[in-house]
Structure 1
């Protein structure tokens, strides 16, 4: 189980599938985890496109916004960062954390990380995890993958990054979209030894 004294960084990039981030946040906060959240600039556009919802730019308003979307009012700790604040605590290797998840992860983010580029706080925080040898988990949400995508993902995997594509399973007999999403969230959190999502796991035949 994750040490609650060390926060977890949750990055949300501009890929489709914000429900993955919302469900992850729901279970993490409900389990009393401390979350440092940074959403990329493009995430504002995706919220508008997928849900016709405006995500506020101010960090304090964002905290309330994400809690409302996740349906968790008070549990856990949540701190949101502006996407352009490259001087934030999570931008430094001296910041103690248990790792980082980027969910969903765009192919643009994958490409920049694979080539050591960081133009905003999300990318910088992820780059820090790689250079410090900490756990970084990416949940790419794209299809099909081009050869360039695959090569970038391979580069990151060779650097120790865990890749968990948003590809659901069916053996747990999903009945709702949330069932499918929660399976991916659970498998993503498994990479950080966090078990707080109530899913039906494979028990063998």
Structure 2
């Protein structure tokens, strides 16, 4: 699948909203076209963790893309966020979570892949059972049936047997399970390093060049 095709990003109701905002900013910075959707639970987590009120039908994308964590001191991170705000009108297409008439609900709409970040347990369950109850699970099902990349980023601990079974089923169907489990070997110097480790690994899976982390052996 061509890198020129858009990417789908779904934000659901697991903890770790900061991973999603940073990922969205970097994708905009890389001039990738993004089709974005947010579940009501995802919006609730964004409000709880980031302090942003997000309307799941007409979100303030400037606020979402311009978010900078209060602990961030890096001028580079702030610059990427500011740049993402300037670029999103051309790069980000938003779809309501229950709108099945959008392009990403159909396999005939070509994409380079889909990322669910963070991925809640209920979203994982719906994907693993092919039980689409909203646009997010429908789009994920489309990516599996079309044999395109589907990256699921769960953030849960401990993990129940049922969740493990759902992960196994999703992986068997072709999904890539990429839990938000940051490493500590890349010269961690603050919380931004932890966030960027996970975001870098996601970007690697969708072939977006990045230098967010110090790679092993480099």
Distance 2:213 2:51 in 1: 29
* 3-state SS in 2 of match to 1:73: helix
Q: Where in structure 1 do 4 or more consecutive aligned residues deviate above 3 Å?
A: none
The answer to whether residue 34 in structure 2 is matched with residue 22 in structure 1 is no
The answer to whether residue 74 in structure 2 is matched with residue 75 in structure 1 is no
Per the alignment, residue 50 of structure 1 pairs with 49
Per the alignment, residue 3 of structure 1 pairs with 3
Structure 1 residue 194: Cα displacement: 1.8
Question: How large is the RMSD of aligned CA atoms in angstroms?
Answer: 1.7
Distance 1:57 1:111 in 2: 21
Per the alignment, residue 62 of structure 2 pairs with 64
Alignment of 1:102-117 (within 5 A): 102-117=116-131
Per the alignment, residue 115 of structure 2 pairs with 101
Q: Given that residues 63 and 79 in structure 1 are in contact (C-alpha distance below 8 angstroms), is that contact kept between their aligned partners in structure 2?
A: no
Distance 2:11 2:106 in 1: 19
TM-score, normalising length from structure 2? 0.87
Q: Given that residues 8 and 100 in structure 1 are in contact (C-alpha distance below 8 angstroms), is that contact kept between their aligned partners in structure 2?
A: yes
Per the alignment, residue 190 of structure 1 pairs with 204
Q: Give unmatched runs, 5+ long, in structure 2.
A: 68-80
Deviations 1:10-32 (A, max 9, x none): 01111111001011011111111
Structure 1 residue 64: Cα displacement: 2.8
- Number of residues paired by the alignment? 202
Q: Given that residues 123 and 137 in structure 2 are in contact (C-alpha distance below 8 angstroms), is that contact kept between their aligned partners in structure 1?
A: yes
Distance 2:119 2:15 in 1: 9
Q: Given that residues 137 and 164 in structure 1 are in contact (C-alpha distance below 8 angstroms), is that contact kept between their aligned partners in structure 2?
A: yes
Q: Given that residues 31 and 75 in structure 1 are in contact (C-alpha distance below 8 angstroms), is that contact kept between their aligned partners in structure 2?
A: no
Structure 1 residue 197: Cα displacement: 4.2
* 3-state SS in 1 of match to 2:60: helix
